[in-house]
């Protein structure tokens, strides 16, 4: 049986009810994790602190739950890198503090890993939802290593919140860089190190995605993040100059769209679940 750690980060802007749902989805699994490492990225509200304390108290008898305190909020990449030091097992399962894991997520992923031991990063498909809408959307990613590598040239090819990562491969790749789009950056570096990817063709995580999230991922800062990613791929000869130019134009166009148009474009790139 696969032994693995769940790694997640919580920060002050997280909504308590969303965190509660995320945590409950971890203990409502047909295959429980061996430990949950939760990093408090800076000071939290009283409600968030109480929720984490209560969750640990109720569930610590069946799962080893570690809560790591960081005095200052330094971002997701830093929190995950710190949390990794407290993970005791060879595989790390990512989880975000406002998403919901389907109850067979860990069982199905563990079975897939057992059949694909040559892979270093394994993810799944996601369902996107909003508390303000009944509409469910799906983001599909490629399945095989070769197709994922091809997709890497055009978009982020893994759903970060779904992945299981070999701890030693993550460490040897240099951990998470403290940059925007830290997951895309990590996949590029892992690919350059020769590590292998795969995705299971099942929708195993429900991800909150609304117009507020989309608007936070637009503007000049995110365009700079996109530019840095494309420049990295060009410098490592993953993409050509022409592909670099096309990607920059496309991403620049999207990052500076008004919210109303951004929402319409978003729905065009998703399919109903």
Domain membership of residue 251 (yes or no) is no
Domain membership of residue 181 (yes or no) is yes
Give the tens place of pLDDT for each residue, 41-92.
999 999 999 999 999 999 989 999 999 999 999 999 999 999 999 999 999 9
Percent of the chain surpassing pLDDT 70:
93
pLDDT at position 227: 94
pLDDT at position 268: 66
Q: Say if CB 99 and CB 205 are below 8 A apart.
A: yes
Average pLDDT, the chain: 92
Domain membership of residue 152 (yes or no) is yes
For residue 254, what is the enclosing H or E element?
Answer: helix 241-255
Range of the domain at 132: 4-218+257-272
Q: How far is CA 148 from CA 112, 159, 200, in A?
A: 17, 11, 12
User: How many domains are there within the chain?
Assistant: 1
CATH number at residue 90: 3.90.550.10
Domain membership of residue 234 (yes or no) is no
Domain membership of residue 228 (yes or no) is no
The dihedral over CA atoms of 169, 173, 176, 182, expressed in degrees to the nearest 10, equals -110
Q: pLDDT band at 258, cuts 50/70/90?
A: confident
Q: Say if CB 196 and CB 119 are below 8 A apart.
A: yes
Domain membership of residue 230 (yes or no) is no
pLDDT at position 220: 81
pLDDT at position 43: 97
98-107, 140-149, 197-206, 248-257, range with the lowest pLDDT: 248-257
Say which DSSP state 112 is in.
Answer: H
- Predicted confidence (pLDDT) at residue 218 exceeds the cutoff of 90: no
* Higher pLDDT among residues 95 and 217, named by residue: 95
Helical segments of the chain, H only = 16-27, 46-59, 76-84, 105-115, 145-152, 167-172, 182-192, 211-216, 220-235, 241-255, 259-268
Tokens of 234: 């060009």
Tokens of 148: 């994922």
Section 231-239 average pLDDT: 97
Domain membership of residue 229 (yes or no) is no
Domain membership of residue 231 (yes or no) is no
Q: Say if CB 200 and CB 238 are below 8 A apart.
A: no
18-27, 110-119, 210-219, range with the lowest pLDDT: 210-219
pLDDT at position 245: 96
Give the tens place of pLDDT for each residue, 110-168.
999 999 999 999 999 999 998 877 888 899 999 999 999 999 999 999 999 999 999 99
- Predicted confidence (pLDDT) at residue 265 exceeds the cutoff of 70: no
pLDDT at position 47: 97
- Predicted confidence (pLDDT) at residue 215 exceeds the cutoff of 60: no
pTM reported for the whole predicted model: 0.92
- Predicted confidence (pLDDT) at residue 212 exceeds the cutoff of 60: no
């Amino acid at each position: 049986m696969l032994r693995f750690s769940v790694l997640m980060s919580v920060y002050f802007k997280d909504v308590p009810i969303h965190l509660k749902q995320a945590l409950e989805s971890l203990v409502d699994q047909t295959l429980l994790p061996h430990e949950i490492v939760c990093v408090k990225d800076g000071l939290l509200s009283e409600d968030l602190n109480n929720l984490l304390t209560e969750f640990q108290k109720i569930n610590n008898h069946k799962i080893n739950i570690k809560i790591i305190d960081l005095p200052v909020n330094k971002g997701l990449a830093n929190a995950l890198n710190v949390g990794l030091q407290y993970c005791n097992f060879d595989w790390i399962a990512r989880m975000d503090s406002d998403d919901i894991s389907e109850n067979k997520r860990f069982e199905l992923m563990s079975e897939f890993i057992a059949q694909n031991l040559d892979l270093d990063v394994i993810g799944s498909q996601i369902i996107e939802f909003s508390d303000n809408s009944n509409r469910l959307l799906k983001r599909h990613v490629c399945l095989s290593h070769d197709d994922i590598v091809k997709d890497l040239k055009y978009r982020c090819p893994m759903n970060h919140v779904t992945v299981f990562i070999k701890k030693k491969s993550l460490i040897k790749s240099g951990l998470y860089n403290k940059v925007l789009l830290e997951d895309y950056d990590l996949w590029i570096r892992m690919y350059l190190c020769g590590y292998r990817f795969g995705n299971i063709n099942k929708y195993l995580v429900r991800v909150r995605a609304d117009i507020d999230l989309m608007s936070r991922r637009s503007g000049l800062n995110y365009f700079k993040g996109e530019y840095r990613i494309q420049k990295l791929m060009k410098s490592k000869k993953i993409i050509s100059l022409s592909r670099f130019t096309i990607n920059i134009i496309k991403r620049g166009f999207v990052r500076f769209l008004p919210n109303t148009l951004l929402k319409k474009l978003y729905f065009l790139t998703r399919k109903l679940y």
